[in-house]
Structure 1
Amino acid sequence: MKLRRCSWVIRLSARIGLKASAIVRYHNKENRPLNGSICVANHTTPMDIVPLMCNEHYSMVGQAHGGMIGFFLSMCIKTTRHILFDRSEMKHRSAVRKRLTEHTADKTNAPILIFPEGTCINNTSVMMFKKGTFEIETTIYPVAIKYNCLYSDPYWNSSKYSMTKYGLRLGTSWAFVCDVWYLPPMCKKEDEDAVQFANRVKSAIAARAGLMSLPWDGALKRQKVKDSLKKQQQEEYCRIIVGRELPVCSEGLLASQNEADDSSAWGPEEPAESPLAAAG
């Protein structure tokens, strides 16, 4: 009974907050997640939870925080069943997976809301989904969220803005305008592993919201690009330029300098174009 009252208060608070300066258009509400399921969505801002909470009460899975965010999270945990973890401790991954399985096994529990990207992305793309969520044997309810940047820029670049500065910046914007699409539920196929299932869900969300589906980890925005990723892009660019696949060595893009200097490696030599043809 206590949890039911708390969920009603949270939904009411979310609706009051949105009425102040927000316009949210909901699509396909018949696909809203059911109890004992997992809801996944693309992630642009910490405010993503607000328009979703207006229609359904969710349990949250996320990173433990300090400061002001940590204070609100500690208050929420006292009234709702949430799952928080510390990214710095790898052992927590198995513990979180176990708690997710136990939560979804009880169909009286609220659906769990997860942002598989693990970080905020700038409202143009959907980045790589972490596979842990998709290892749970349950139904996945995808949700696509797209913001209208004409009225405000909801993206939170935590490397540039603190939570306080971001809140002031968002609060002084014209309006909070977005579309929310509830997609049909999806289940893992027999011939799919967790990574393939995650990519299929990610592609469906990106297509519905008109965003680019990219294979990169969103956490790259805080890290130096790995040499292996640079080399992969260099190899791909080399194949485009050469027109065919060439063997690649660790010291450079081409297997040998001799092969690069060999004109036959670049295809048959074409006759020189006449000045008249060039002018035409």
Structure 2
Amino acid sequence: MEEFWSAALWVLTIWLYLIVSLIMIPAMFGFSLGISETYMNILVKTLEWATLKIQKAKTDEQTLTPSPSNGLIQREDGSMEKEFEELRRSRPKPSVGGDFTLSDSFYFSRRGIESIVEDEVTQRFSSEELVSWNLLTRTNDFQYISLKLTLVYGIGIFLRYCILAPLRITLACIGLTWLVIGTSAVGLLPNWRIKYWLSEWVHVMCYRICARGLSATIRYHNRENKPKKGGICVANHTSPIDIVILCNDGCYAMVGQIHGGLMGVLQRAMVRSCPHVWFERAEMKDRHLVTKRLKDHVNDKTKLPILIFPEGTCVNNTSVMMFKKGSFEIGATIYPVAIKYDPKFGDAFWNSSKYSMVSYLLMMMTSWALVCNVWYLPAMHQQEGEDAVQFANRVKSAIAHQGGLVDLQWDGGLKRAKVKESFKEQQQKQYSSMVVGDDSSGHSD
């Protein structure tokens, strides 16, 4: 029995030594020994080989082609005015009366049928479709094609669940533990310049360890546009891991509601060393208080840029949905950031209505890897005569264009709520203005 425990202790010691020497120390100082790059090269070649095998076995089947809508229906991108113009092209304008015709009902009937079959909102909260199978049963059911492919699939299961998952869970635990200990220790120091430098270093170091725990391969573009102190960084939102992705390249001040449990422990530790903006549940409902706290933060040019996800919910990596206007009412410099994940290596989207946080993290830690691109866009300012909603839409459009995402006007809150009456009234007024011929009000939206 003693020999068993001695051997187990020896294996554990070797395991921790390999983690510290090969992963943690390089992560702490922001360099790589090339292990992850080698793993990614082998993985890419393996998936390419598997794709060729699958395509060869199914040459008689039509290959699935991805569409920007990620859905069954190919929708028109034109506005209501353009679509009515097409419908009325062969109809002369009446000499008297309003500009109404029975053919207008075809537009509303078609849009209604499209929404019944597949609405633009619901499909944004389901996993992104793949062109080919990535050897993960969570994206496609396993089907026997060849003995070689089956062997590779079996080896992949062993690698992901028996080697990578324990390694990633260990790294995640170490990263979070160090975050609590490090930020708590830094919080005991006096408010000197070195305290803020150490705080940023501890935050970035721990996030880098967590990123290594997800086998994250991140490509940052246009680093000259990185968010600066005294500003607000806004990004599209796919997953809670977005925070790890962005903080792996720099430190940010977080904004959010105070939680209990493990999340509460992390929040209390982090705020000791860095001025994050945490709110009580009752305070979150007070817009004026939230706006004041955010203004006070950005007006202090010594504080870190605030990181905000204005969509308010996770979207499935194909689109950008409506930005809440709150962070655009402050008058601060906005630093847009676009994040786009490669679904071939793992589905980064968190469907919170289907999976708990723990289940989602386990799925991420048993995926092949986390691969994504991050684009830092030039800073944007509110223009003269532009209200907060227009400014938010302009920033959202820039992020969608850069990330190759679909720009949608729908509120992500429709995931759990009904359409607001004000939106219905807006569409009714838009059509009414077209019927009576009032072009100025017809384009007021």
TM-score normalised over the length of structure 1: 0.78
Q: Deviations over 1:217-240 (max 9, x none)?
A: 11111124457757877x79xx8x
| Alignment match, 1:6 | 199
| Alignment match, 2:293 | 99
The alignment status of 1:211 with 2:420, answered yes or no, reads no
Letter in 2 for 1:16: I
Q: Secondary structure at the match of 1:46?
A: coil
Aligned counterpart in structure 1 of residue 210 of structure 2, from 7, 17, 27: 17
Asked if 2 retains the 8 angstrom alpha-carbon contact of 1:143 and 1:183, the reply is yes
Q: Distance in 2 between matches of 1:90 and 1:113?
A: 16
Asked if 1 retains the 8 angstrom alpha-carbon contact of 2:283 and 2:290, the reply is no
The change in CA–CA distance for 1:172 and 1:68 in structure 2 (over 3 A counts) is same
Aligned counterpart in structure 1 of residue 368 of structure 2, from 159, 174, 195: 174
What are the ranges of 5 or more consecutive residues in structure 2 without an aligned counterpart? 1-193, 437-445
The change in CA–CA distance for 1:90 and 1:67 in structure 2 (over 3 A counts) is closer
| Alignment match, 2:311 | 117
Give the structure with higher Rg (CA). Answer: 2
Q: Deviations over 1:48-99 (max 9, x none)?
A: 0112112211001123334433332232222221112356656532112111
| Alignment match, 1:156 | 350
Q: How many residue pairs are counted as aligned between the two chains?
A: 240
Letter in 2 for 1:179: N
Q: Distance in 1 between matches of 2:435 and 2:403?
A: 38
Q: Distance in 1 between matches of 2:275 and 2:356?
A: 27
Q: Distance in 2 between matches of 1:73 and 1:84?
A: 8
Q: Distance in 2 between matches of 1:90 and 1:178?
A: 31
Higher strand proportion: 1
The alignment status of 1:44 with 2:238, answered yes or no, reads yes
The change in CA–CA distance for 1:203 and 1:33 in structure 2 (over 3 A counts) is same
| Alignment match, 2:254 | 60
Letter in 2 for 1:159: S
| Alignment match, 1:253 | none
Q: Distance in 2 between matches of 1:86 and 1:160?
A: 27
Q: How many Å apart are 1:113 and its aligned residue?
A: 0.7
| Alignment match, 1:266 | none
Aligned-residue RMSD, C-alpha: 2.3
Letter in 1 for 2:373: D
| Alignment match, 2:339 | 145
The 10-residue stretch of structure 1 (4-13 or 87-96) with the greater mean CA deviation from structure 2: 87-96
Q: How many Å apart are 1:207 and its aligned residue?
A: 0.4
TM-score normalised over the length of structure 2: 0.50
| Alignment match, 1:198 | 392
Asked if 2 retains the 8 angstrom alpha-carbon contact of 1:128 and 1:214, the reply is yes
Letter in 1 for 2:205: L
Give the % identical residues: 58
Aligned counterpart in structure 1 of residue 275 of structure 2, from 70, 81, 95: 81
Q: Distance in 2 between matches of 1:106 and 1:90?
A: 22
Q: Distance in 2 between matches of 1:151 and 1:66?
A: 33
Structure 1 stretches of 4+ moved >6 Å = 230-233
Q: Distance in 1 between matches of 2:223 and 2:248?
A: 12
Q: How many Å apart are 1:157 and its aligned residue?
A: 1.5
Asked if 1 retains the 8 angstrom alpha-carbon contact of 2:257 and 2:284, the reply is no
Q: Distance in 2 between matches of 1:227 and 1:96?
A: 26
The change in CA–CA distance for 1:187 and 1:115 in structure 2 (over 3 A counts) is same
Q: Distance in 2 between matches of 1:87 and 1:229?
A: 28
Q: Secondary structure at the match of 2:241?
A: helix
Letter in 2 for 1:74: R
Q: Distance in 2 between matches of 1:189 and 1:111?
A: 21
The 10-residue stretch of structure 1 (163-172 or 80-89) with the greater mean CA deviation from structure 2: 80-89
Letter in 1 for 2:369: A
